[in-house]
């Protein structure tokens, strides 16, 4: 299984946190999971669509977000809540906001830091799909 985290270079705190969480959860499952960090703008990333940093997208839309204080506090959930309205708007324009999480070539998460449980479920789901009709051993 290959999980890619797509974000800016250098990685923002949200993309870096997503990458580290996925590495940790993957290691804890004992499953064979390769976690890759891919940079927005690279040919590897652009095959999934136009990818833009969420904060830059909000600024370009003329919305002044006061998320800098949230960054200082490392309040990633607060940042995600402030940026959430822009994720759908961006998708409507054909843009994916960072962080973008791709599992085996399929975009699964856009514009937010996933929880540990959500990452675990993605790994379990992908493992089940690849096993076909074998019983669930989780």
Give the model confidence (pLDDT) of 4-28 as tens digits: 999 999 998 889 999 999 999 999 9
Full set of structural domains in the chain with CATH: 2-131 (3.40.30)
**Helix residue spans in 1-138 (DSSP H):** 13-29, 43-46, 54-60, 68-73, 76-92, 116-131
> Is the pTM for the entire model greater than 0.75?
yes
Res 115 pLDDT > 70: yes
Give residue-wise pLDDT tens across range 40-84.
999 999 999 999 988 788 778 776 666 667 777 777 788 788 788
Res 134 pLDDT > 60: no
């Amino acid at each position: 299984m290959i999980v890619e985290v797509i974000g800016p270079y250098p990685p923002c705190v949200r993309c870096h946190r997503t990458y580290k969480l996925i590495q940790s959860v993957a290691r804890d499952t004992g499953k064979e999971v390769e976690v890759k960090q891919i940079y927005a703008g690279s040919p590897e990333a652009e095959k999934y669509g136009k990818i833009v940093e969420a904060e830059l997208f909000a600024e370009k839309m003329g919305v002044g977000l006061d998320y800098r204080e949230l960054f200082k506090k490392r309040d990633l959930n607060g940042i995600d809540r402030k940026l959430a309205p822009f994720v759908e708007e961006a998708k409507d324009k054909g843009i994916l906001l960072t962080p973008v999480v791709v599992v085996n070539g399929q975009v699964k998460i856009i514009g937010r830091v996933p929880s540990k449980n959500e990452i675990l479920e993605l790994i379990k789901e992908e493992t089940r799909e690849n096993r076909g009709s074998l019983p669930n051993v989780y």
